[in-house]
Chain A
Amino acid sequence: MSTAVETHELTKRYRRATALTDCTVTVPEGRVCALIGPNGAGKTTLLRILAGLVRPTGGAALVLSGEPRQDPAFLAEIGFLGQEIPLYRRLTAEDHIVAGAHLNPRWDAGHARTRLADLRIPLDQRVGELSGGQRAQVALALTLAKRPRLLLLDEPFAALDPLARRNFLAALTSAVTDAAGGLTVVLSSHLVSDLQRVCDHLILLAGSRVQLAGDIDTLLAEHRVAQRVEDVALEELILTYMGADAESAAHLIATAGEES
Chain B
Amino acid sequence: MTSLVWRQYRAQAAIASVLLAALAAAIVADGWQIASRWHSALAGCSGNGGCLQQTALVNGVMSDLPYFALIVPAVLGMLWGAPLVASELEARTSDFAWTQSVTRTRWLAVKAGWLLLAAAACGGGVAALTTWWSGPINAQSATAFTPGQFDTQGIVPIGYAVFAMALGIAAGTVARRALPAIAVVLGGFIALRLVVANVLRPHYLAAVTTYFNVTSTFTPPGQAWVLAQGGVSPTGQVVGRGWGDLEPALPAACQRLLPGSPTAKNGASLNAVFSCMQAHGWRGFVTYQPAGRYWPFQGIETGIYVLLAAALIAVTFVVVRRRDA
Give min CB distance, B176 to chain A, whole Å. Answer: 14
Query: Would B101 and A54 count as touching, CB distance under 8 A?
Result: no
Report Cα–Cα, A240/B3, bound state, in Å: 51
Query: Would B101 and A86 count as touching, CB distance under 8 A?
Result: no
Stretch with Cβ within 8 A of B (4 or more), from A25-33, A89-97, A192-200, A248-256:
A89-97
Query: Would A70 and B95 count as touching, CB distance under 8 A?
Result: no
Identify whether the interface residues of B are mostly helix, strand, loop, or mixed.
helix
Q: Which of A73, A79, A89, A100 has the most CB of B within 10 A?
A: A100
Give min CB distance, A64 to chain B, whole Å. Answer: 14
Chain A residues within an 8 Å CB radius of B101 = 72-73, 75-76, 103-105, 146
User: Which one, B7, B91, B94, B102, contacts A89 given CB within 8 A?
Assistant: B91
- Check A84 for interface membership: any CB of B closer than 8 A: yes
Query: Would A84 and B324 count as touching, CB distance under 8 A?
Result: no
Chain B residues within an 8 Å CB radius of A157 = none
Query: Would A87 and B93 count as touching, CB distance under 8 A?
Result: yes
Chain B residues within an 8 Å CB radius of A84 = 92, 95
- Check A124 for interface membership: any CB of B closer than 8 A: no
Query: Would B103 and A80 count as touching, CB distance under 8 A?
Result: no
- Check A232 for interface membership: any CB of B closer than 8 A: no
Query: Would A72 and B103 count as touching, CB distance under 8 A?
Result: yes
Give min CB distance, A45 to chain B, whole Å. Answer: 9
Chain A residues within an 8 Å CB radius of B11 = 90
Query: Would A103 and B4 count as touching, CB distance under 8 A?
Result: yes
Task: Specify the chain A residue showing the minimal Cβ separation from B94.
Answer: A86
Report Cα–Cα, A80/B98, bound state, in Å: 10
Query: Would A82 and B3 count as touching, CB distance under 8 A?
Result: no
Chain A residues within an 8 Å CB radius of B95 = 53, 80, 82, 84, 86
Query: Would B100 and A54 count as touching, CB distance under 8 A?
Result: no
Give min CB distance, A11 to chain B, whole Å. Answer: 14
Query: Would B103 and A102 count as touching, CB distance under 8 A?
Result: no
User: Which one, B92, B100, B103, B324, contacts A70 given CB within 8 A?
Assistant: B103
Interface size class of A (residues with CB under 8 A): 35 or more
Chain B residues within an 8 Å CB radius of A86 = 91-96
Report Cα–Cα, A76/B101, bound state, in Å: 5
Q: How many residues of B contact A (CB 8 A)?
A: 25
- Check A71 for interface membership: any CB of B closer than 8 A: yes
- Check B99 for interface membership: any CB of A closer than 8 A: yes
- Check B216 for interface membership: any CB of A closer than 8 A: no
User: Which one, A73, A87, A101, A102, contacts B96 given CB within 8 A?
Assistant: A87
Query: Would B94 and A103 count as touching, CB distance under 8 A?
Result: no
Task: Specify the chain B residue showing the minimal Cβ separation from A54.
Answer: B324
Query: Would A72 and B102 count as touching, CB distance under 8 A?
Result: yes
Task: Specify the chain B residue showing the minimal Cβ separation from A94.
Answer: B7
Chain A residues within an 8 Å CB radius of B98 = 52-53
Give min CB distance, A243 to chain B, whole Å. Answer: 29
Q: A79-B99, A84-B95, A105-B101 are in contact. Are A98 and B3 (CB under 8 A)?
A: yes
- Check B193 for interface membership: any CB of A closer than 8 A: no
Chain B residues within an 8 Å CB radius of A95 = 7
Report Cα–Cα, A82/B105, bound state, in Å: 21
Query: Would B99 and A75 count as touching, CB distance under 8 A?
Result: yes
Task: Specify the chain A residue showing the minimal Cβ separation from B100.
Answer: A103
Report Cα–Cα, A74/B322, bound state, in Å: 17
One digit per residue, 1 when the CB lies within 8 angstroms of any chain A CB and 0 when it does not, for chain B 1-23 equals 11110011001000000000000
Chain B residues within an 8 Å CB radius of A103 = 1, 3-4, 100-102
Can you list the 8 inter-chain pairs with the closest CB atoms, starting with the nearest? A76-B101, A103-B100, A86-B95, A80-B99, A99-B4, A102-B3, A82-B95, A86-B92
Pull 10 A–B residue pairs with CB atoms less than 8 Å apart, ordered by A. A70-B103, A72-B102, A75-B100, A79-B99, A80-B95, A86-B95, A86-B96, A99-B7, A146-B100, A146-B101
